Structure formats: C-alpha cells, structure tokens
Amino acid sequence: MALSLFGNGRRSNVFDPFSLDIWDPFEGFSTLANIPSSARETTAIANTRIDWKETPEAHIFKADLPGVKKEEVKVEVEDGRVLQISGERSREQEDKNDKWHRVERSSGKFIRRFRLPENAKVDQVKAAMENGVLTVTVPKEEEKKPEVKAIDISG
C-alpha cells in the first residue's frame, strides 16, 4: 500500500482504481456540511441537462433522464407561458451486504423552468420519452407576414 498524495493521510493502493483517494478542495468546509442531505440530493440533479432549440415550426426541448421512468416525470405549462419539467430519480435500493466503491449517479427531485416566447402554442405541447431522453415539442404560431398592398400612382 502506498500513501496517497492527496487527502487526509488515508492510505490507498495506487494500483486499485476503486481505492484511490481523490483530493477534494472543499473537504472540511463547514458551509457544505451544514446543508441537509436532502438538499444536497436535490441540488445534485437540479442541473439536469436540457437542450432547447428553435426550428421554423417549433421549440424543442431535450432532457437527458437516464433511469427515470416516464411516470416519474411531469411536463406542465403554468402561468400561461412557463414550461416546467420536473420529476424524481429514485435512489437504488441498498442491501446491507453491498460494498459501494463509488456513487456518482445522483438521485432526488429535479425541476427546470423555461419562459416560452410569445409565438409558442402552449395549448399544443407534446412530450415523449425514448431511451432515457425526454423530448418536449412546443409548436410555434406561423409568423404573420406583413400584408403589402400596392398603391396605384395617379397622374
């Protein structure tokens, strides 16, 4: 066993990737310790990655939600023009005999809100979930082209 270069003097086997200690620059900060675990879980996936693109026909939102069932996700439009995507990723059941080497996947509640532009048809929003990706499509109103009226010139 070799002494880890980082951390607080804990021993680590350099050849075992599961036992290697990684230096945490925020270790020991009391402000992080005071945050309740439920809040840490919520903030862990509050940054659920969502792409928003606009096409000539619609606004399209894509959210990566691996391991989340469609029954665990809510898509709502509130206050007229605010798209809200929320849900909860359940924590994996733990067995007392399990030995965890690393836990990186987050669990808990998530919520994302987007103010939709005036041209969004909020009454025609559609959502679909496929392979862990939620796709929300918000159709757009057709852009009204200004009516041009030709004026005859007399004379």
3-state helix, strand, coil in the chain (%, to 5): 10, 35, 55
What pLDDT sits at residue 47?
62
CB of 113 closer than 8 Å to CB of 80: no
What pLDDT sits at residue 30?
46
What pLDDT sits at residue 100?
79
Q: Parse the chain into domains and list their residue ranges.
A: 46-92+107-143
- For 105-148, what is each residue's pLDDT tens digit? 777 888 999 999 999 999 999 999 999 999 999 999 987 778 88
| Closest among 66, 52, 45, 49 to 136, alpha carbons compared | 52
How would DSSP label each residue in 135-154? EEEEEBPPPPPPP----PPP
- For 85-109, what is each residue's pLDDT tens digit? 999 887 777 778 888 788 777 778 8
CB of 11 closer than 8 Å to CB of 3: yes
> pLDDT averaged over the chain?
77
What pLDDT sits at residue 1?
46
Spatial distance between the Cα atoms of 45 and 74, rounded to a whole number of angstroms: 15
* DSSP 8-state code for residue 132: T
Q: Which CATH architecture has domain 46-92+107-143?
A: Sandwich (2.60)
In this structure, the dihedral spanned by the alpha carbons of residues 148, 149, 150 and 155, taken in order and rounded to 10 degrees, is -140
The residue with greater pLDDT, 8 or 54, is 54
